Structure 1
Amino acid sequence: MRKAIISEDPWSKLRTLSKARIALGHVGGSLPLREVLDFKLAHANAKDAIDSSLNTESLLGQLKTFGLPIFQVSSQISDRKEFLKRPDLGRRLSTESVDDLKESKQTFDLIIILADGLSAEAINTHAVETLQNLLPKILEKYSVAIILASQARVALADEIGSLLSAKMTAIFIGERPGLSSPKSMGIYTTYKPAIGLTDESRNCISNIHEDGLSYHEAAEILHYLINESFRRQLSGVNLKLDLGRLDLGETTVLPK
């Protein structure tokens, strides 16, 4: 039996510049087996990311070192199947979580929420180190609490912020996993959170992962958004980034 010969694509060097599936080569009229298997592995990793869970014990242990109030909440979702089918329930807190937050009788300038979203592994991997870069910049100026939220959608932050009378929320959440980035984290900020707000009221920092924004870059942008939101008392489409005011020169290599 004759061994198949892979015809490499003349643009193959471009693959070092992008995670996109380009210049794959071919064997006759078919893709090389290596590319077929790589695609199947990437698809499996994306599916696993959706089914992943917050490593609550590890996260709590790391978060306690910051010396900040920590709460745990969950949405009205019962399992991952319902999470995918009923995003509306992922935007509202469970009755028990509502009662817990009401009983706290605490208020804060800023609530930082670590939420599983569509990739809990993104939070397990990237959230704490992003906080390590952020918190030294803000703790002298703002009162801060941290919340771990399970089965959560972005808008869950609105109800959390409202119950704790927070002036602003920042929700760190696992983004929809892609075939090249199953552990991508996003951050959504909202000034004056309230139930019923829509996405034009938020600012978004996206693609925090090993091939995207570094921890330093994400923390620098978030620091800017926090300061500007408090100064101008708004967030969302009316708040734009002024890149000239950001120190994005330092880079951090994120774990794969």
Structure 2
Amino acid sequence: MNELQQRMQMKPQSNIPNPNSSEMLEELLSSTPARIGVWRSGTRPLTKDMLKFRIDHASAVDSVYSEVSQQLLQQYPFVQVETRYETRENYLKRPDMGRVMTLESEEQLRKQCIKGTQVQIVVSDGLSANAIEQNLADVYPSLLDSLKVYGLTVGTPIFVKGGRVAAMDHIGQILEPEVLVMLIGERPGLASSASMSAYMCYKPRIGMMESNRTVISNIHHGGTPPVEGGAHIGMILKKMIEQQTSGVNLVI
């Protein structure tokens, strides 16, 4: 078990002296990773709480600016492509550039990827490379096993560097899969910098409405367990193909 998983499993504690209802406070603490029950020294936060806040904030910043390691990506048969984001600073300021593939990547997708498959899997760093580092090894095999059980064919897996969610639309336009799932790092908060989301869509195309996407969020060891998340994604993709729809029109 890594350090992140150990922290997630630590029982939350409150520093509030003599609360009116200890049971209610304990129930609240167990229901959320948010900062509940922090106390103060005079008008200021306790030193240990302030240091914990700064550690978590630094972890979130690192997740945004770091990159997924090639050592991890080389363990999988990904075709690696990029959006037009150019730099990480530009990626944060210009979300639109993370939605469009470079011309070189477009050509790479056409040459190296299977077109018209039932399921297309896309992975992207998004706003948290740490989410991919921490969860991919559990989510990806579980998803493949689930799709195999349902008898669904899978295309060439893709990794997108500097991707936003709508990059799936551009990829869908090029490869025309029946359904596409993008596993992407979520915007890191101060409770977890390792949260992954799975965005799914039936026949994604450029210009599609956001209401046509189906999403599972908070996939990490302190939220939706990664192995369970991968299996659940496979079930949802099967329903999309059966119902020929996604988003608000999908019945799960």
TM range (shorter): 0.7 to 0.9
> Higher relative contact order by CA 8 Å / sep ≥ 6: 1 or 2?
2
1:154 corresponds, among 160, 165, 173, to 165
Identity %: 33
Whether 1:118 aligns to 2:127 is yes
Whether 1:219 aligns to 2:233 is no
Partner of 2:65: 51
- CA deviation after TM superposition for structure 1 residue 84, in Å: 0.5
Partner of 1:198: 209
Cα distance in 2, alignment partners of residues 80 and 89 from structure 1 = 11
Contact 1:201–1:237 (CA<8 Å) still a contact in 2?
yes
Cα distance in 2, alignment partners of residues 170 and 105 from structure 1 = 15
Q: Cα deviations across residues 22-45 of structure 1 (Å, max 9, x unaligned)?
A: 111222232211111111111111
Matches within 5 A, 1:67-216: 70-104=78-112, 106-107=114-115, 108-139=117-148, 140-216=151-227
- CA deviation after TM superposition for structure 1 residue 132, in Å: 1.4
Cα distance in 1, alignment partners of residues 136 and 227 from structure 2 = 12
Cα distance in 2, alignment partners of residues 137 and 224 from structure 1 = 7
Deviates more, 1:83-92 or 1:129-138: 129-138
Whether 1:21 aligns to 2:35 is yes
Cα distance in 1, alignment partners of residues 167 and 31 from structure 2 = 37
With over 3 angstroms needed to count, the CA separation of the structure-2 counterparts of 1:212 and 1:95, relative to structure 1, is: same
Find the residue that maps to 1:194 and give its secondary structure.
coil
- CA deviation after TM superposition for structure 1 residue 99, in Å: 1.1
Contact 1:9–1:24 (CA<8 Å) still a contact in 2?
no
With over 3 angstroms needed to count, the CA separation of the structure-2 counterparts of 1:57 and 1:7, relative to structure 1, is: closer
Find the residue that maps to 2:41 and give its secondary structure.
coil
Unaligned runs of 5+ in 2: 1-14
- TM-score, structure 2 normalization: 0.85
Alpha-carbon RMSD: 1.8
Unaligned runs of 5+ in 1: 1-5, 65-69, 242-256
- CA deviation after TM superposition for structure 1 residue 130, in Å: 0.7
Q: Which amino acid aligns with 1:166?
A: P
Whether 1:228 aligns to 2:239 is yes
Aligned residues: 230
1:8 corresponds, among 9, 17, 20, to 17
